[in-house]
Structure 1
Amino acid sequence: MHPIPRLRPMREHDIPAVLAVQSACYTELVPESADAFLTKLAASPGTCWVALGVRDRLLGYLVALPWRFDAPPALDLRDCRLPAEPDCLYLHDLAIAPHARGQGVADALVDAFVMCLRDLRLPRAALTAVQGSAAFWARHGFSPVDDGLLPAAKLASYGAGACYMTRPAKRPAARIAA
């Protein structure tokens, strides 16, 4: 049995460890830069978390932004300006260190995200599933958005096979064993 990871808000000094986890996880996309993470963290520090294990070793992270559903942010965004009237909490990035997978880290971070979504009283969450992760997100209550609602060009920076997904805020987080 693995201990439950400790979650806390992401801080600027976490970025090198976040970049290392990102590099280990994303093999089909060009990794985002430190500047991109810093601008997102500065824009919305209350919606970015890290999961820590023994001796505060970074196990994973989640970056989310209050955003507009019809215009997901591009990858490696260097100037993150939150919209005046967000209508979703956009889950921009979740990554779990390879050594920490299967220990409940992703579930803990997604649960924190869902609680934040409800606290912000936004009607829905959105994300762009990459690297074949749509089935994972479906287990957490997300479903693909009809292609007609979001032009493919808006997802171009996320690579081939990107899938835009959403879930209502009120839906309980559903986890179905794979």
Structure 2
Amino acid sequence: MMVKTKMIDGVNHILHQNDWIKPHLLNFAGKVVELNYGNDLVIQLMQINNDGSLSLVKNAESQPSLTIKVSNRTIFQIITKQDLDDIEIQGDMKLAKKLSEVLKNLEWDLTLEIDRYLGPQAAGLYQRLSNKIITRIRDITKNIMETTVEYYQEENKVFAKPYQVKEFNDDVDELLIRFENLQRKYNEIFK
């Protein structure tokens, strides 16, 4: 029960960071959501409160308005903001749609968490480090793409270089002009 309470506290903390969410959840106050993670972990029941926060339902006999079953893959898709394709939903579809919209737009500022628990110096270090990592990943990706294109242009001749495309287009234009001239001469001779 302690782990579940801490999880609800964590979810409410993230909801607090994204205060735009609460008005969306207010319309579903009193609704109960059951979340099943794989076959092993069931976060019994969470209720949407009148203030848009979540709380554990203490009454085990409460029937869920919405049941969501997710897998490891779904959790990864949520974290990486991909389309969810391995999720099973039963119950209130309006609530399910609203929760899906909320999850897609949810943002969690990890820098604030690091600042809160480890202090501003650690948060600043994390921010600089994450910016450098993102920049480095972007540069590596760009280099890989450029190298791949160059390989297919030079070695395999799969991709054409821009000047080759222009030469080809010029040759096609020239052939078109020659064909039109030939067709005109043909029409003059056989008319």
Larger helix fraction of residues: 2
Determine if the TM-score, normalized by the shorter chain, exceeds 0.5: no
Choose between structure 1 and 2 for higher RCO, CA contacts under 8 A separated by at least 6 residues: 1
TM-score (norm 2): 0.22
Normalized per residue, the structure richer in strand is 1
What TM-score do you get using the length of structure 1 for normalisation?
0.23
